[in-house]
Chains A and B, each alone.
Chain A
Amino acid sequence: MIKYKKDTDNIVTLILDMSDRNDNVINHEIGQAFLPVLKHLQQEKRKGTLRGIILTSAKKRFLAGGDLEYLYHAQDATEIFQFADGLKQFLRDLEKPGVPVVAAINGDALGAGFELALGCHHRIVIDNPKIKLGLPEVRLGLIPGSGGIIRLMWLLGIERAFDILSSGLRYRPKDALRVGIIDELAKDQKEMMEKARHFLLHTKEGRRPWDQDQGRIPGGTAKDPEMAKGIRILATQLAKETYRNYPAQQAILNILSEGSKVDFDTACRIGTRYYTQLVLSPACKNMIKAFWFDYKSIKDGEKRPKGFGRFRPRKVGIIGAGQMGSGIAYACLLNGLEVVIKDVSRLIAERGRMYAKERIQKALAQNTITKVEAESMLAKITTTEDPSEFESCDLVIEAVFENAQVKQKVTREAEAYMDDYSVLASNTVSIPITELAQNSLRPDHYVGLHFFHPADQVPLVEIVRGAKTSEETIARAFDFVNVIKKIPIIVKDDWGFYAARVQNTFILEGITLLQEGCPPALIENLSLQAGMPKGALSLADDLGLGMVLKYEQQAAAHYGNKYIQHPAVSVLQNMIDELQRTGRFKKAGFYQYEEGTAPQFWTELGDHYPLSKKSFQATEIIERLLFAQVIEAVWCLQENVIRSIPEANLGSIFGWGFPAFKGGVIQYIHDYGVDNFVRRCNQFKKKHGQRFSTPKKLRELVAKDQLNQQVL
């Protein structure tokens, strides 16, 4: 588990090597394993036969983070507190004044893994851009629980520590050095060990700033009036950005503020108390569920058709150099693929290259890629007006504007040159893949790949299965999406597929509230407070009211005489037909748009949709806006529009911004409690209409969430 080596200079090297695992993980085991080693080291120290310690790893990664399986299921505050406290005590023993300890970091050190590195007197990392370092806990609704927050504060000061901790960024070694969380870079393993020895041979005693009499937190404590003001601004900015929905970020600020006023060990203990509270919090459980378990389940290919070999695309053709096509091209380039960008003329196709160039230059400026990488990416772009250039492409993605005829024409042109093994994908939001595939030469190789705008940033792609799409094509599309490091969810070829269909119910509910006489500001502000990225009305304007109406009309057509008209439909018709306000594109929707100023509500909105005298409950509005989406997502599961809970959850978070702290649409039901949710739906059904009735199979469907069954 821990290998012990001692050299003639009395330098001990401890090599972490957890048996039966690919990674070294921080769990109960590791603390236990270290105990006898530490005891032995203390004896050596007393005897004067210990000059220093190098801590390194035998694994590809230095030390991965904590045990999320354990944290997700942990329910006992005492146990969690003691677990964190145990690790903290171990780190404290390690760094106690005396024998200096160097962390020789040969691979990823993230989360609790980086906490161990922070517990050493000196950190040296091999300068390999693939190595990731940092404290990303906040992305799972967590915080470092073993003193990492306080150590970082003592090393960098409150404000810099807050930036690093609250963003949860993972750093490449160079960036880590720049932000100050490591001390040295080494070009390879050999140099790292040499530098570690050099440090130990020249350092008599290891003593952290907080163990020094003269030690001070850089930039001062929260008692300092200027710092207090700074913290106040950080607090309100946080509230502004997160609507106070993400307790982990708030906890970090609270801990830094309080922790700066007390001694190091008390500060760490305050931190552990917050940590315990967060581990037990719904937001944290929901985020671990979504971003760890659901993510893993999708990425492990749970829904990828079985029995087909891995598709390894090398060259991707893209038809259409607009925003979407350019974004997709850049996403491909970022992941080492060659791209052929085609448009009606080469000149127009060049727009795709320009976009990639801009993004690459930006990435260069931000140091997220190297010059060599940039040059190699640029060399992989071909632009053309000639479909014959697609001959050697493994996959061609059509991303022209939403017109079925045009789409069919350009794909057919491409198909003529593509080989029999290649895949043709269409990026559409509103045209059925089955319809588009009608004229295809190889409809079984035709699939929908629905990217979200901006395509190089949104980490989700809907894979749309047309009537004739083969299982193998789905598997290949899945593999391609994985290659460009996005999350593939497989959806049915129904109107709006999954994301747009469910998102539309949010918009419709907001519009219904307006019709009921709810103040528009209340609809928009409570949308945001609910955790949605935009207000429902503002989103309606962005999409265009015609589009919103069209989705609902498609739903009507789908359900036939079982369809009950949504109350928002009449508002949409009135806005479009009578008032000629179709949305942002026409600079006239629920909002009015003027250059240079933030959009304002249309001044006449109140005349057409006057305020009601009845009072609106904030909680009820928030629930209506979210329930509408959750119920629609369950319909999607029931109708096999989406086929798994992990896909439904991550699809909702990344597809249209359903609140991450709720863990996605289906996790929302577990968070709310299935019985409570159904009861509340029944209340809403009575009060607001049939659209709140729950799909018959709701209980059965959500019960499939096995992870949650273990908790219950």
Chain B
Amino acid sequence: MSEAYIFDALRTPRGKGKSSGALYEVKPIDLLATALTALKERNQIPTQEVDDVLIGCVTPIDDQGYNIAKAGLLHARWAESVGGMQINRYCASGLEAVNLAASKVRSGWESLIVAGGIESMSRVPIGSDGGALMYDPELINGVKFVPQGIAADLIATIEGFDRESLDRYALNSHQRAATAWNEGYFKKAIIPIFDRNGLPLLQEDEHIRRETDLEALAELSPSFAEMGEYGFDALAKQAFPMVSQVQHVHTAGNSCGIVDGAALLLVGTEQKGQSLELKARARIVAATSISVNPTIMLTGATPASEKVLRLAGMKKSDIDLWECNEAFASVVLKYQRDLDIDPDKLNVNGGAIAMGHPLGATGAMLLGTLLDELERRDLQTGLVSLCVGGGMGVATIIERV
């Protein structure tokens, strides 16, 4: 069996996912093509050498519809021989793409794959693809399916996380992200975005609030209280009847930001790497996915991480750095509590609360960030995991080589 190695990881800066965001005027295939072009140029790979391109995208309609992977490849003028596939495992799509690439490589059927994700949330808003889990009345009530914000509040309620602890975590995310940018930790990965004339559009993540503090965060009003009133709190309580009242503690400040962005990794066999003079930076040790109760929904990162550790034959203490997607502050606090992780080893450069969560791309971004940081600190092993809509969870372990 051949091992799967990561040769490169890059991402675009994240623009605010609304019409005032810097990337709103950039169409999704431009964003993806920019990343593809950068990957090709940085690594000097003849594109016909690539076996497949796997792209995560969570709202694959309109500008992102009809398989944006192939559209992006054609737009970037990659070789006709390269195929592309768009996949959707909601928030973990970008990581799932990498995991799938690694599986293909380890099967021996493919030797070089580009994997990553794209999401222009300003152009194609979340949920605009409809779908049965969002809008089928039989299914929603049948499985007691609530919006993710309600699920995040439910976690906080059950775990007893109060508003202040969530805000404190959020502040930490902003501070860490600001430091990472100031110190240039992201430099290696970032592909700035220019217009067709080479005029700059975005160099840095646009969503970070460097100036924020606990007071400012405390002033924000709960985002999901009204939604809860409509009946979603009642549904959540029907699934978790030990809860007397859902506490609405998540706000725009301690939940992930809505942003645009794309990320790619180059994954392949050692042999293929050598023949193209690519340096293997890390080995993908193990990857997995699981699923949990669909109502509370966002607690999948813990069991996914436990499972991937088992698959890798590792212990928690073998992990040097952890990344857990900051979908909501309660998700990370629960993850940290469940696995008893040292806060100084978890999301060390901030996360989606500060920099935003471009749904389909985030998983790939987190993996790239983790790899860069392992290298910067000269550490060995990292684990990245994401909670996922519908109750799913995805996790991956990498090890530097």
B243, CB-defined interface residue at 8 Å: yes
> In whole Å, how far is B146's beta carbon from the nearest beta carbon of chain A?
8
Q: Which of B122-162 contact A (CB under 8 A)?
A: 128, 130, 134-138, 140-142, 144, 146
B135–A239 CB distance below 8 A: no
A237 to B137, CA, bound (A): 11
A239–B144 CB distance below 8 A: yes
A257–B137 CB distance below 8 A: yes
A468, CB-defined interface residue at 8 Å: no
CB nearest neighbor in A for B234? A240
Complex interface: chain A residues within 8 A of B234 (CB): 236, 239-240
A233–B230 CB distance below 8 A: yes
A526 to B238, CA, bound (A): 8
Complex interface: chain B residues within 8 A of A529 (CB): 238, 241
Main secondary structure of the interface of B (DSSP, over half): helix
B40, CB-defined interface residue at 8 Å: no
B244–A232 CB distance below 8 A: no
Given contacts A236-B230, A519-B242, A521-B243, contact A228 B235 (CB under 8 A): no
B137–A234 CB distance below 8 A: yes
A237–B241 CB distance below 8 A: no
Q: Which of B288-315 contact A (CB under 8 A)?
A: none
B134–A232 CB distance below 8 A: yes
A231, CB-defined interface residue at 8 Å: yes
- Give the residue of B136, B235, B242 whose beta carbon is less than 8 angstroms from that of A239: B235
Complex interface: chain A residues within 8 A of B237 (CB): 525
* A interface, size bucket: 20 to 34
A222, CB-defined interface residue at 8 Å: yes
B232, CB-defined interface residue at 8 Å: yes
A243, CB-defined interface residue at 8 Å: yes
A236 to B136, CA, bound (A): 11
A522, CB-defined interface residue at 8 Å: yes
A525–B141 CB distance below 8 A: no
Main secondary structure of the interface of A (DSSP, over half): helix
A193 to B146, CA, bound (A): 53
Given contacts A225-B128, A233-B231, A239-B238, contact A254 B138 (CB under 8 A): yes
> In whole Å, how far is A392's beta carbon from the nearest beta carbon of chain B?
52
A526 to B234, CA, bound (A): 12
Given contacts A244-B141, A250-B141, A618-B241, contact A222 B235 (CB under 8 A): no
A253, CB-defined interface residue at 8 Å: yes
A618 to B136, CA, bound (A): 26
A225 to B130, CA, bound (A): 7
A236–B141 CB distance below 8 A: yes
Given contacts A525-B237, A526-B241, A618-B241, contact A235 B128 (CB under 8 A): no
Q: Which of A224-260 contact B (CB under 8 A)?
A: 225, 228-229, 231-240, 243-244, 250, 253-254, 257
A609, CB-defined interface residue at 8 Å: no
- Give the residue of A237, A519, A521 whose beta carbon is less than 8 angstroms from that of B230: A237
Flag B237-257 by CB within 8 Å of A: 1 or 0 each. Answer: 110011110000000000000
> In whole Å, how far is A605's beta carbon from the nearest beta carbon of chain B?
11
B230–A525 CB distance below 8 A: no
Given contacts A240-B235, A521-B242, A526-B241, contact A235 B134 (CB under 8 A): no
- Give the residue of A229, A257, A522 whose beta carbon is less than 8 angstroms from that of B242: A522
Given contacts A225-B130, A529-B241, A618-B241, contact A238 B141 (CB under 8 A): yes
A240 to B233, CA, bound (A): 8
> In whole Å, how far is A300's beta carbon from the nearest beta carbon of chain B?
38
A553 to B164, CA, bound (A): 50
> In whole Å, how far is A305's beta carbon from the nearest beta carbon of chain B?
46
Q: Which 3 A-B pairs have the closest CB atoms?
A: A236-B231, A240-B234, A525-B241
Given pairs A235-B141, A239-B141, A239-B234, 12 additional interface contacts (CB within 8 A): A222-B135, A225-B130, A228-B135, A231-B135, A232-B134, A232-B135, A235-B137, A236-B235, A240-B234, A244-B238, A525-B243, A526-B241
